[in-house]
Amino acid sequence: MANPTAPTAPLATAEGIREWLEAELPRLIESHGVPAAAAGVLVDGEVVGHATGVLHLGTGVEATDDALFQIGSITKVWTATLVMQLVDDGLLDLDVPIRTYLPEFRIADEDAAAVITARHLLSHQAGFEGDLFTDTGRGDDCVEKYVATLADTPQLFEPGTQFSYNNAGYVVLGRLVEVLRDGAYDDVLTERLLRPLGLAHAAPGPYEAIMHRVAQGHLPGPEGVLVPAPIWSLVRSNGPAGSTLAMRVADLLAFARMHASGGLAADGTRVLSEASVAAMQEVQVGVPDIGLMGESWGLGWELDPTPAGPMISHDGSTIGQNAFLRVLPEAGVAVALLTNGGDVMSISRELFESLFARLTGGDVLRAPQTPADAEAVLDEVAAARFVGTYSASVMDVVVTVDEEGRLWAQDVGKGEFASLVSAAPPARVVPHGDGSLITTEQKMGTHWIYVFLGDDGQGRAAFLHTGRAMPRATA
C-alpha cells in the first residue's frame, strides 16, 4: 500500500511536456542513431508533439511536426476498430464462424477454416501461418485476391488454444470489412475513421502520402551504416495488417484519445460505442513472455497492468520504420513515438520511461529482462529439448549446441526478407525462467527471449515462440 503521507508527484502540464520534447528529442535521436523521430503526448485532453531529425538521409529533407511516418502494425488496432463498428451496427457477431460472412475463406485445414471466428482473428488465436506478404497488386481488389491465396496455408494449432501473432488474419478481417461495408479497405478506413477523427494528413497509401512531407525508412548497410531502405512500404495487399498506413504523431494520438474517451472524437463525434471500446480492452488470451509484447491480448490491443491502471498498447514495424503507442485510458494519457531507423528499442524505452514518470509520477513499464547466468551450459539431455530448426514462412530459427554445452540461436531470413535484412551470426543463448532461452548480448536494444512450448513426443519442444508460434521443422 502506498504511504498516505508521501507527497503526490505532480502531473506534467501540456506546456511542460512540449518544452521537454523540444529540448530532449533531438538529444535522444542523436544518442540512439535515429535519423528522425516524431514524439507526442496526450495530456490534459490536449495533444502535444514534436518532430526532429532527417526524414531521408539521401535527400536531407528535415522532419517537421506535419511529417508522416508509417505506423506499421498499429494499423491492426484501426482494423479492429472498423470490425467493432460492424458489431455496433449489428452487421457482425464476433463468435460465429467467419465463413458466415466470407464463405470463400479457405486454408489447408478445412476443420479449422469452418470454426475460425472474428474473435479468434482479432486476438491472434486463429492458429494458421500468419507471416504471409503475398503481393496481389495495387488495385482495390488486392485484399480480396490476397485472401484467395490462403487456401494452402498450414494450420499450426487448434483455433482458440493459444496466441500466435498473425498478419494474414488481419488481412482476412480487412476483407470482412470490405464485404460488409461494400467498399475497398482504404476507402472504408477513410470514411469510417480518418474523416470522423478529422485526420486530413493521414494517408492509407503512397498516393495520399506523397502530398505531404514523408519519412523514408533506413536499414543498416553492408558496413552497419544506415542507408535509405530500397522500398518505401510493404505490399498494399497487407494494408489491413499494417503495410502502408502513414500519419503524423498527432493523428495517431487523436485515435488513441478516441479509445481513451469511450469512443468519442475530439469534437464529440461518436466513432465507436462505449461497449466496443471496453470490449477491445478485455483480456482474450495470455501471451508467452518474450519481453516485447503485452502480458495478454484483447481485441486488437496489447494489454498490461500497471501501477497507474491498465495499459493498452501496440507497436509497428515496416521497412526501416518503427512506431510505438502506449495508452493509459483511466489516466487519460498516451505517448506515441514514430521513427525511421536506428536503435529504436532503446530510444523508445528511454522516452517512455521519462515521459510516463512525468505524467504519472512513477514507472509504468515492465523492467527489461536480462540473463541470470550468461555463462550457463547444458548437458546433452537438457539441451535436446531446445536444439533444432523452427520454421515460419519468412524466417527459420536454428538452435544448436556446441561441444562445451553452449547453446546458440540464429535467425535466418527467407524469401524477400532475406534480401532486406542483413544476415546475423548465431547468438549465444542461455536458460531463462521456465522453458525459455535468452540472448546473452542485446539485439536491437534488448535481450531477445525465445520461449519453447509443447512436446513433440520425444521430449523436445514442439514450438518455438517469438510472438509467433514456429513449429519444429527438424525430425
Q: Would you please indicate which residues are annotated as catalytic (active-site) residues?
A: 73
Here the cell at position 245 is: 498506413
227-236 burial, b at 16+ Cβ within 10 Å, e below that, comes to: ebbeebbbbb
CB 286 within 8 Å of CB 296 = yes
Q: Is 250 exposed, middle or buried (0-12, 13-18, 19+ CB in 10 A)?
A: buried
Q: Residue 254 contacts by C-beta under 8 Å, 6 or more apart in sequence? A: 47, 197, 198, 199, 265, 266
Give the C-alpha separation, 206 to 149, whole Å: 24
Backbone angles phi, psi at 76, to 5 degrees: -60, -35
> Beta-strand (E) ranges in 289-375?
296-297, 302-304, 311-317, 322-328, 333-339
- Alpha-helix runs per DSSP H in 261-362: 274-280, 344-360
- How far the first Cα of the chain sits from its last, in Å, is 52
